[in-house]
Amino acid sequence: MALAQQQTLSRKTAFDWHALGERLTAFREEAARRSALAFEPRPTAARGPHMARLLAELRTPVELWQAHRAARRHVEPVPGPGSDAAAPSRPVMLLPGFGTHPVRMKSLRVALEAAGHRVSDWGLGFNFGPTEEGFERLAERVVTMARKEGEPLVLVGWSLGGLFAREIAHRHPEAVAMVVTMGSPFSGDRRANNAWRAYQAIAGHSVDAPPVGHAFAAKPPVPTVALWSARDGIVAPRSACGRKGERDRAIALRCTHLGFAGHPDVARTLLALLADLHGAAA
């Protein structure tokens, strides 16, 4: 009896080691595949912002602190809920950029909520790239929230989040009132930015073959606004600005790519767009 138990335990131990070996082999193969994706050659025609612009992104925390400090010195009263000048409350969803969490967009949320808008995040935590399952959950969330709110949502997407927003508007235009992209590379070559290698390594697929969405440059059938900055150090400004016919409006701002998530000028622009949306619908 004892011998049989020892033999059974020995077989289990051998099986565990074998399974561990298979997992390690699979891990090495996947790491090699993602490394190959990260080091693919860049097409000669595709160029991201100059290295000086990329390095300037490191100053974003200081610039945001300075911008908010200046904004507090020159406070312009924001029409609050119930005031005659206030636009009606709108349901707004914020979609974070690649590798970031919705908490990075907290200051935008605070500014929008202070003006009376109902703001939610996308509900998926960190944005590590699209998957079919994750995108379906997001689309279902947008449709469900639009039904619950009794009106379509305004989708505000930062960088990669803007591509998600445009794709959702293509598939469910009845649930989307407007799409606002912030530094999103929806136009031109998908490698015209300084993040495509990191994206391919982390997401595990080529920027040319995402699991969802392929025609990002095609304008969704809803009002679409592109916020872009000539100071963007990650996404080429032309990619974020887009061409005529790819968006309804393009608005230039003076902030870094990382600054889109919390610069007071971005918040003021979003509030103005929400007010304009009300005016257009009136």
Q: Is 98 exposed, middle or buried (0-12, 13-18, 19+ CB in 10 A)?
A: buried
Closest CA to 101 of 118, 134, 130, 123: 123
| Between 112 and 2, the higher pLDDT residue | 112
User: With b meaning 16 or more CB within 10 Å and e meaning fewer, what string describes 44-60?
Assistant: eeeebbeeebbebbeeb
Angle at 219 between CA 192 and CA 198, to 5 degrees: 30
% of the chain surpassing 70 pLDDT? 88
pTM of structure: 0.86
Q: How confident is the model at residue 10 (pLDDT cuts 50, 70, 90)?
A: low
| Between 5 and 135, the higher pLDDT residue | 135
Q: Are 166 and 139 in contact (CB under 8 A)?
A: no
Sheet order of strands, 176-182 included: 118-121, 91-95, 153-158, 176-182, 224-229, 249-253
Q: Find the mean pLDDT for residues 1-21.
A: 62
Average pLDDT value over all residues in the chain: 89
Which residue type occupies 47?
Answer: R
Q: Find the mean pLDDT for residues 37-42.
A: 79
Q: Are 179 and 165 in contact (CB under 8 A)?
A: yes
